[in-house]
């Protein structure tokens, strides 16, 4: 519960106790009040445990590029991080090939390789005018018709849950590797081009799942108060007063890391243009399975991407291939991201479709290895970068910051980012508030 006799009459209020909110409180160092609607902090960077099996909320591997976050995480978990060289694969046409698909065609059926190579040659030697209209055209321009048809378009359609003509290409430069034509050819003939992408190397806590890191950061918080089980109820942005958990307090600045639509729908007396911009925000959720296996699978990959529509999942990860402590000795621990976004089905019905696909991909040795599975759902997973996205965000962010409300994090800023980005966003906004709104 919120203490009504708040010792700081004008604190910084942090909405949301995910990684960005925790990082914000940590870097503020004092004078903050953090509100989280769940019973414990962590947001998506949490780990569930059952019978010795550990499951994150799908894959949460640490890709650290910034020296500051590298030092911070190492300090939080001294001798507690496992460095891992990525082994990611594509499962299509009944075979496993190296990731990314566009740079590693070797091993696919010859007719598929030929189609993909001819399309890539045509695309990369053709002169294109203007910018791509959408993400589908971006794929055709950079990879050609074959690679787009066999992987880029069907995979991303499963992941985003919308047609790629609805998505712009502006979001993808950091996350979608674009090999040169020579690298595509080398990958097609098995010349083993170097690993591509931002996630070639990653780190992971030695035990306990990703929440081990989250809890370590929570343990460093000081100079403020955490209120769990306190959802945002209303926000009077004109008078800078917030109501959560049945109590109301004033604030000198606010950091909102909760999903941007959840913030806006609880703000009172919004201008019409702000309400209109808020109505254009889109996001897709994701369903996933936590899967416990009686024995560790024979496959050596950390995760696979699955573009074909006949399989009900688009990504599967094997936690225990990166960190065996994610399951009891000799067992396996998986996450399976599902492409279905219709009415929530029964677990048994999901498993009837999923298990044969996992066996075919090598993520399970046999159906008999299934010990238990849990069906989970995340309401907010992927922000949709549609053709209204940038105008909407450009309207909302200046308005909010003008009211001393600073949206940050993946769902506060309404972006596609990593855990490292969330940590850095918390540091950045704490510095900004100290400069603009000193106590």
CATH number at residue 268: 3.50.50.60
Give the chain's domain count: 3
Helix (H) and strand (E) counts in the chain = 14, 19
Domain that holds residue 92: 88-188
Same domain, 124 and 161: yes
| Residue 130, domain CATH | 1.10.3110
**Please, what is the Cα angle at 250 between 245 and 254, to 5 degrees?**
85
Same domain, 168 and 52: no
Distance CA 258, CA 407 (A): 8
427 located within any domain: yes
Nearest to 45, CA basis, from 248, 182, 154, 204 = 204
Helices marked H in 195-327 — which ranges? 211-218, 260-264, 272-278, 319-322
Whether the CB-CB separation of 375 and 289 falls below 8 Å is answered with: yes
User: How confident is the model at residue 79, as a pLDDT?
Assistant: 82
User: How confident is the model at residue 227, as a pLDDT?
Assistant: 96
Q: Which residues contact 46 (CB under 8 A, 6 or more apart)?
A: 40, 56, 57, 210, 211, 214
Same domain, 375 and 414: no
Cis peptide before 100 (omega within 30 of 0): yes
Whether the CB-CB separation of 407 and 263 falls below 8 Å is answered with: yes
CB atoms within 10 A of CB 113: 18
Distance CA 26, CA 21 (A): 9
For the chain, the distance separating the N- and C-terminal CA atoms, rounded to the nearest angstrom, is 24
197 located within any domain: no
Same domain, 292 and 377: yes
Same domain, 218 and 181: no
Model confidence pTM above 0.85: yes
Same domain, 318 and 253: no
Distance CA 2, CA 248 (A): 9
Whether the CB-CB separation of 32 and 14 falls below 8 Å is answered with: yes
Same domain, 112 and 158: yes
1 located within any domain: no
Tens digit of each residue's pLDDT, the chain (439 residues): 334 344 566 899 999 999 999 999 999 999 999 999 999 999 999 999 999 999 999 999 999 999 999 999 999 998 889 999 999 999 999 999 999 999 999 999 999 999 999 999 999 999 999 999 999 999 999 999 999 999 999 999 999 999 999 999 887 766 788 899 999 999 999 987 777 776 788 999 999 999 999 999 999 999 999 999 999 999 999 999 999 989 899 999 999 999 999 999 999 999 999 999 999 999 999 999 999 999 999 999 999 999 999 999 999 999 999 999 999 999 999 999 999 998 999 999 999 999 999 999 999 999 999 999 999 999 999 999 999 999 999 999 999 999 999 999 999 999 999 999 999 999 999 999 999 999 8
Same domain, 377 and 287: yes
Nearest to 359, CA basis, from 309, 307, 293, 290 = 293
User: How confident is the model at residue 8, as a pLDDT?
Assistant: 60
Q: Cα-Cα-Cα-Cα dihedral of 375, 380, 381, 387, to 10°?
A: 140
Q: Among 188, 220, 247, which residue terminates a domain? A: 188
Distance CA 352, CA 42 (A): 32
User: How confident is the model at residue 173, as a pLDDT?
Assistant: 65
Burial label, 293 (beta-carbon count in 10 A; 0-12, 13-18, 19+): buried
Distance CA 258, CA 299 (A): 38
Q: Among 383, 399, 423, which residue terminates a domain? A: 383
196 located within any domain: no
User: How confident is the model at residue 199, as a pLDDT?
Assistant: 75
| Residue 310, domain CATH | 3.90.660.10
372: left (phi > 0), else alpha (psi -120 to 50), else beta? beta
Same domain, 393 and 428: yes
């Amino acid at each position: 519960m919120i203490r009504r006799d708040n010792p700081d009459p004008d604190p910084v209020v942090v909405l949301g106790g995910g990684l960005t909110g925790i990082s914000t409180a940590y870097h503020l160092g004092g004078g903050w009040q953090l509100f989280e609607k769940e019973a414990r902090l962590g947001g998506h960077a949490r780990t569930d445990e059952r019978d010795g099996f550990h499951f994150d909320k799908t894959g949460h591997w640490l890709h650290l590029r910034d020296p500051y976050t590298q030092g911070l995480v190492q300090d939080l978990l001294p001798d507690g991080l496992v460095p891992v060289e990525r082994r990611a694969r594509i499962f299509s046409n009944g075979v496993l090939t190296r990731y990314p698909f566009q740079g590693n065609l070797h091993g696919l059926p010859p007719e598929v390789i030929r189609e993909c190579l001819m399309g890539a040659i045509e695309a990369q030697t053709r002169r294109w005018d203007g910018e791509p209209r959408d993400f589908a055209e971006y794929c055709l321009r950079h990879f050609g018709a074959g690679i787009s048809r066999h992987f880029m378009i069907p995979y991303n359609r499963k992941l985003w849950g919308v047609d790629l003509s609805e998505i712009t290409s502006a979001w993808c430069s950091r996350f979608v590797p674009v090999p040169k034509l020579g690298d595509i050819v080398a990958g097609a003939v098995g010349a083993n081009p170097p690993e591509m992408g931002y996630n070639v190397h990653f780190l992971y806590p030695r035990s306990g799942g990703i929440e081990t890191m989250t809890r370590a950061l929570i343990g460093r918080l000081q100079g403020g108060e955490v209120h769990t089980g306190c959802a945002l109820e209303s926000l009077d942005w004109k008078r800078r007063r917030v109501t959560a958990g049945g109590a109301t307090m004033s604030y000198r600045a606010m950091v909102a890391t909760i999903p941007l639509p959840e913030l806006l729908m609880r703000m009172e007396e919004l201008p019409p243009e702000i309400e209109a911009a808020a109505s254009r925000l889109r996001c897709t959720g994701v369903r996933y399975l936590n899967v416990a296996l009686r024995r560790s699978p024979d496959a050596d990959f950390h995760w696979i991407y699955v573009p074909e529509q006949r399989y009900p999942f688009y990504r599967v990860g094997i936690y225990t291939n990166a960190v065996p402590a994610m399951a009891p000795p000799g067992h396996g621990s998986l996450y399976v991201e599902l492409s279905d976004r219709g009415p929530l089905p029964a677990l048994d019905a999901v498993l009837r479709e999923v298990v044969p696909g996992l066996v075919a991909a090598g993520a399970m040795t046999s159906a008999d290895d299934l010990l238990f599975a849990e069906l989970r759902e995340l309401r907010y997973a992927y922000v949709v970068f549609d053709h209204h996205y940038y105008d909407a965000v450009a309207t909302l962010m200046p308005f909010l910051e003008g009211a001393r409300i600073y949206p940050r994090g993946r769902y506060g800023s309404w972006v596609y980012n990593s855990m490292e980005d969330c940590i850095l966003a918390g540091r950045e906004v704490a510095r900004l508030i100290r400069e603009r709104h000193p106590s």
